[in-house]
Chain A
Amino acid sequence: MKKITNFIIDQKLIIIIIVLIIALSVEDKSFFTVKSLASILEHATIIGIMAAGMTVLLISGSFDLSVGSVMAFTGIITIMLQKPLGLFLSVLIGLIAGTMVGVINGLLVVKGRINAFIATLGTMVIFKGFGLALTGSSPVKGTIAAYQFIGQGQVFGVDITLFYLIAIFIIVWYLLKYTKFGRNDYAIGGNILSARLSGINVNLYTLYYFVFCAFTAAVSGIILSSRVNTGNAVFGDTTNLTVIAAAVLGGTSLFGGKGGVIGTIQGVIILGLIERAMVVFNVDTNYQLLVRGIIILFVVVTDAVTSRRKKLDIEKGVMEKGA
């Protein structure tokens, strides 16, 4: 009995995914087609890419609320610059502009020693305001048709965005497992003191992680603005918490030191499946919120329980070793 509960709790994400998939394919005959399965990921792209970046940041023990604003801001810059600068430059500058927000966040946190929550809360507000100011609080429309390919193009019959998502996750997975960038991430999040003593430039790397997180947000901004061929400061008002939820759903700790993109992608898929289920089962919009809330709560609570059990096991382990 206990074994079973343990298994359920440890594998809860997979189980939730399987249950949702079964339920969906029973209800919706066309669900189990490449196209519809792919579309789950396609739709998860924008949140997913940011979630990957957020995972990196969370592992280092930090936090970013400004991703939504960065996303919108990047879109606005890119679209506005299309006419004067042309496709390539506008996208490039857009990315840089978005990434700069990460630099600001990072500096505020490592140099200004401000709590990440507050710092990014501030930049969130600032750059939304900035976006509104630039656009005079009305949307700006894209002028280059080719731009739309970035977010709408099709390759091998599936959306091109799907490949961005996969690419980003592979890259982040590699970074985390095989590079200083990633290993220092765990070190800093796990024990900042020993990271320092091991000659890791903690401030610099923390800065990197903020920048990287902002960068993924900027990429999402490009994709979104291209997908809807519009830039608007009100885009992504609600994005930040969704992104963090996705990462934490995937088992990345808000206190740093542990987690990874394998979990995050599961979290993203779960959110995607829920979205789909809402439509397929034609759930009354009032209850959609409810379902989301309950699932997130379930995951975080079971996490709390398991982590506490793990700690107990370790104590026991220590005891046996000690004796």
Chain B
Amino acid sequence: MSDADTTIKSTSVKRGFIKFFYSQAMLFILIILFVIMIFVSDNFFTLNNIYNLFRHVAILGVMACGMTLVIIGKGIDLSAAAILGLSAVSFVMIQQYGYAVSVAVAIAVGVVCGFINGYFIGKVKANFIIVTLATGILFTATSLIISEGRNLTARPLLVFSYIGSSSVFGFPVIIIFLIIIMIITGILLQKTIAGRRLYAAGLNDKAALVSGINTSNIIMGTYVLNGLICGIAAVVMTSRIPRIRVGQTAPYLFDVITIVVLGGTALTGGMGGIYKTAIGLAIFGIVNNSMAILSIPYEYQQLIKGIILILAVLYDEFNRRKRLLYQ
């Protein structure tokens, strides 16, 4: 175990600092992007545009919180967008029974979907990719069936249209909402027993089991929570964009995953957190927004997005290796 002794002796304040430096790779990318944009475009660093920037990714951000939980639990939820869609559809379809009811139902639907995923992945231990792929199809189908494929419009809802599109002291409520969700999930992960156990389960489910952690419940929990969050996101979404069409939410899925991964939450589980996801979200938002205000043609936007994703991840991987040297 001589190499172990090595590291024991070799850790020091300086190394700690370098470690910090490398561990913050994504933060630096974010700052660099931000500064560049300030110089490139005068329209970028305006309050209004910054609000836009976040308003546009708010829904994705909320979903990303849920996805982060799932990914830390060594899973992935390919049905998230479908859950969002299903919740939104059910939300609109029963709005005549009053807002409270429809909100409750939308969230309940999300939870149920999450539970179905969680049951098959956590309890039955079926492969998460295929399960969520299949349930994603099922949820989409269900929303088709209950909406009979109709296009739906949400009536303006008092509270929630407020979240969606208005602001307090010029500060968009939807962003406040996003921040709140992030803080809650962040605390859940860092400061609660459940959170600690989730990390344990994500890192090594066997050991977690021996430590008296009911991993299958924990894993199941992440999917249920993700469903819940998708339900909430659905309510917020309908309040921002009142017209719901099945399939409209499908493109969100890969964006959400991209955000989480951009932040540096590893798909291998047990690492990362909301803080990283927040950074990922900011980077994602800036890239989208910049390309829009620079009026880059759509085709090239795709190209650039993809390239940035890959470069970012490469950079992060590079730093992870460096970081390990200083572990």
Q: Which residues of A contact B (CB under 8 A)?
A: 108, 112-115, 117-119, 121-130, 132-133, 136-137, 241, 244-245, 248, 254, 286-287, 289-290, 292-294, 296-297, 300-301, 303-305, 308
Which residues of B are found within 8 Å of A128, using beta-carbon distances?
302
Most B-side CB within 10 Å, residue of A124, A304, A308: A304
B126 proximal to A (CB < 8 A): yes
Q: In the complex, what distance in Å separates the CA atom of A236 from the CA atom of B301?
A: 19
Could you tell me if A123 and B306 are in contact, using CB atoms closer than 8 angstroms?
A: yes
Which residues of B are found within 8 Å of A301, using beta-carbon distances?
120, 124, 126, 131
B267 proximal to A (CB < 8 A): yes
In the complex, the chain A residue whose C-beta lies closest to that of B78 is A241
Could you tell me if B310 and A122 are in contact, using CB atoms closer than 8 angstroms?
A: yes
- Once A and B bind, how many residue pairs between them come within 8 Å at the CB atom? 135
Report A66 CB to chain B, min CB distance, Å.
Answer: 10
Could you tell me if A308 and B125 are in contact, using CB atoms closer than 8 angstroms?
A: yes
Report A93 CB to chain B, min CB distance, Å.
Answer: 21
Q: In the complex, what distance in Å separates the CA atom of A304 from the CA atom of B216?
A: 14
Q: Which stretch of B58-66, B134-142, B152-160, B194-202 is in the interface?
A: B134-142
Could you tell me if B267 and A132 are in contact, using CB atoms closer than 8 angstroms?
A: no
Could you tell me if B302 and A286 are in contact, using CB atoms closer than 8 angstroms?
A: no
Which residues of B are found within 8 Å of A287, using beta-carbon distances?
141, 145
B133 proximal to A (CB < 8 A): yes
Report A251 CB to chain B, min CB distance, Å.
Answer: 11
Give the residues from 288 to 327 in chain B that come closer than 8 angstroms, CB to CB, to chain A: 297-307, 309-310, 313-314, 317, 321
Could you tell me if A286 and B301 are in contact, using CB atoms closer than 8 angstroms?
A: no
Q: In the complex, what distance in Å separates the CA atom of A184 from the CA atom of B28?
A: 41
Report B25 CB to chain A, min CB distance, Å.
Answer: 14
Could you tell me if A290 and B142 are in contact, using CB atoms closer than 8 angstroms?
A: yes
Which residues of B are found within 8 Å of A117, using beta-carbon distances?
76, 267
Which residues of B are found within 8 Å of A304, using beta-carbon distances?
120, 124-127
Q: In the complex, what distance in Å separates the CA atom of A123 from the CA atom of B302?
A: 10
Report B214 CB to chain A, min CB distance, Å.
Answer: 17
Give the residues from 156 to 183 in chain B that come closer than 8 angstroms, CB to CB, to chain A: none
Additional pairs, 17, CB under 8 Å, beyond known A108-B310, A287-B145: A113-B317, A114-B313, A115-B268, A119-B310, A121-B309, A122-B306, A123-B310, A125-B303, A126-B303, A137-B299, A244-B133, A286-B144, A287-B141, A289-B144, A292-B137, A296-B133, A301-B124
B241 proximal to A (CB < 8 A): no
Which residues of B are found within 8 Å of A297, using beta-carbon distances?
120, 131, 134-135, 138
Which residues of A are found within 8 Å of B278, using beta-carbon distances?
none
Q: In the complex, what distance in Å separates the CA atom of A137 from the CA atom of B144?
A: 29
Could you tell me if B133 and A126 are in contact, using CB atoms closer than 8 angstroms?
A: no
Report B302 CB to chain A, min CB distance, Å.
Answer: 3
Q: In the complex, what distance in Å separates the CA atom of A47 from the CA atom of B117?
A: 27
Q: Contact partner of B141 among A130, A136, A137, A289, CB < 8 A?
A: A289
Closest 3 CB pairs of A and B: A129-B302, A126-B306, A293-B137
Could you tell me if A132 and B134 are in contact, using CB atoms closer than 8 angstroms?
A: no
The size bracket of the interface on B is 35 or more
Q: In the complex, what distance in Å separates the CA atom of A113 from the CA atom of B307?
A: 16
Q: Which stretch of B10-18, B33-41, B47-55, B254-262 is in the interface?
A: B254-262
Report A124 CB to chain B, min CB distance, Å.
Answer: 7
Q: In the complex, what distance in Å separates the CA atom of A296 from the CA atom of B314?
A: 34
Q: Contact partner of A296 among B137, B258, B261, CB < 8 A?
A: B137
Could you tell me if A133 and B307 are in contact, using CB atoms closer than 8 angstroms?
A: no
Q: Contact partner of A137 among B298, B306, B307, CB < 8 A?
A: B298
Report A178 CB to chain B, min CB distance, Å.
Answer: 29
Q: In the complex, what distance in Å separates the CA atom of A124 from the CA atom of B305?
A: 11
Could you tell me if A118 and B309 are in contact, using CB atoms closer than 8 angstroms?
A: yes
Which residues of A are found within 8 Å of B126, using beta-carbon distances?
300-301, 303-304
Q: A290-B145, A301-B120 are in contact. Are A118 and B261 (CB under 8 A)?
A: yes
Mark each residue of chain B from 66 to 97: 1 if its CB lies under 8 Å from any CB of chain A, else 0. Answer: 00000000001010000000000000000000
Q: A117-B267, A122-B306 are in contact. Are A133 and B300 (CB under 8 A)?
A: yes
Which residues of B are found within 8 Å of A303, using beta-carbon distances?
126-127
Q: In the complex, what distance in Å separates the CA atom of A86 from the CA atom of B314?
A: 39
Most A-side CB within 10 Å, residue of B125, B129, B148, B299: B299
7 A-B residue contacts at CB 8 Å? A108-B310, A119-B310, A132-B298, A286-B141, A292-B137, A293-B138, A296-B130
Report A304 CB to chain B, min CB distance, Å.
Answer: 4
Q: In the complex, what distance in Å separates the CA atom of A114 from the CA atom of B267?
A: 10
Which residues of B are found within 8 Å of A113, using beta-carbon distances?
317, 321
Q: A121-B258, A132-B298 are in contact. Are A126 and B134 (CB under 8 A)?
A: no
Q: In the complex, what distance in Å separates the CA atom of A286 from the CA atom of B134?
A: 15
Which residues of B are found within 8 Å of A248, using beta-carbon distances?
127, 130
